[in-house]
Structure 1
Amino acid sequence: MEPVSLPPQSRVALCGGTHGNEMSGVYLVRELQKLEKVGSATLTTVISNPRAVQMCKRYTDVDLNRCFTDAILSSPVTDATPYEVRRAQELNTLLGPKGSAGAMDLVCDLHNTTANMGLSLISYSAQDWVILHIYRQIQVSRVSIQLNQMRVKDKVKLIQDLIFETTSASIEVGPQPHGVVRADIFNIMKECFNSGGEVDDVYTFVKSIDYPRDPETNQITAAIHPQLQDRDFCLLHPGDPMFLMFSGEIVKYEGVEVLHPYFVNECAYYEKSIAFHLARKMTLTIPPLRVKRD
Structure 2
Amino acid sequence: MTSCQAVQEAAVRRVAVFGGTHGNELSGVFLVKYWQEDGTEIQRPGLEARPFLANPRAVEKCCRYIDCDLNRVFDAASLGKEGSEETPYEVRRAQEINRIFGPKGGPEAYDLIFDLHNTTANMGGTLILENSRDDFIIQMCHYIKAALAPESCPVFLIEHPDLKYATSRSVSKHPVGVEVGPQPQGVLRADILDRMRKIIKHGLDFVHLFNTGKGFPPCTIEAYKIMEKVDYPRNKNNEITAVVHPNLQDKDWQPLRPGDPMFLTLEGKTILYEGDHTVYPTFVNEAAYYEKNQAFIKTHHQRSLIPPLAMRRIKLSS
> Aligning the two structures, in what range does the TM-score lie when normalised by the shorter sequence?
over 0.9
Q: For 2:116, which of 107, 110, 114 is the aligned residue?
A: 110
Partner of 1:155: 152
Partner of 2:211: none
Is 1:59 equivalent to 2:60 in the alignment? no
Partner of 2:283: 263
- Give the TM-score normalised by structure 1: 0.94
Show structure 1 runs of 4+ deviating over 6 A. none
Partner amino acid, structure 2, of 1:220: I
Equivalent residue runs for 1:1-294 within 5 Å:
1-33=4-36, 34-35=38-39, 37-143=43-149, 154-162=151-159, 163-166=164-167, 167=169, 168-195=175-202, 196-215=217-236, 217-294=237-314
Partner amino acid, structure 2, of 1:218: N
Unaligned runs of 5+ in 1: 145-153
Name the Cα RMSD after superposition: 1.1
Q: Tell me if the contact between 2:225 and 2:299 (Cα under 8 Å) persists in the aligned partners.
A: yes
CA offset digits 1:185-216 (Å, max 9, x no partner): 0000001122333343300000010000012x
Unaligned runs of 5+ in 2: 170-174, 203-216
Equivalent position SS for 1:119: strand
Partner amino acid, structure 1, of 2:75: T
* Structure-2 separation of matches of 1:198 and 1:223: 40
State the shift of 1:38 in Å. Answer: 2.8
Equivalent position SS for 1:140: helix
* Structure-1 separation of matches of 2:77 and 2:306: 32
Partner of 1:148: none
State the shift of 1:249 in Å. Answer: 0.7
Partner of 1:150: none
State the shift of 1:169 in Å. Answer: 1.4
* Structure-1 separation of matches of 2:239 and 2:154: 33
- Give the TM-score normalised by structure 2: 0.87
State the shift of 1:6 in Å. Answer: 1.0
* Structure-1 separation of matches of 2:136 and 2:8: 10
* Structure-1 separation of matches of 2:270 and 2:75: 39
Q: Give the number of equivalent residue pairs.
A: 284
What is the identity percentage for the equivalent residue pairs of Structure 1 and Structure 2?
Answer: 44
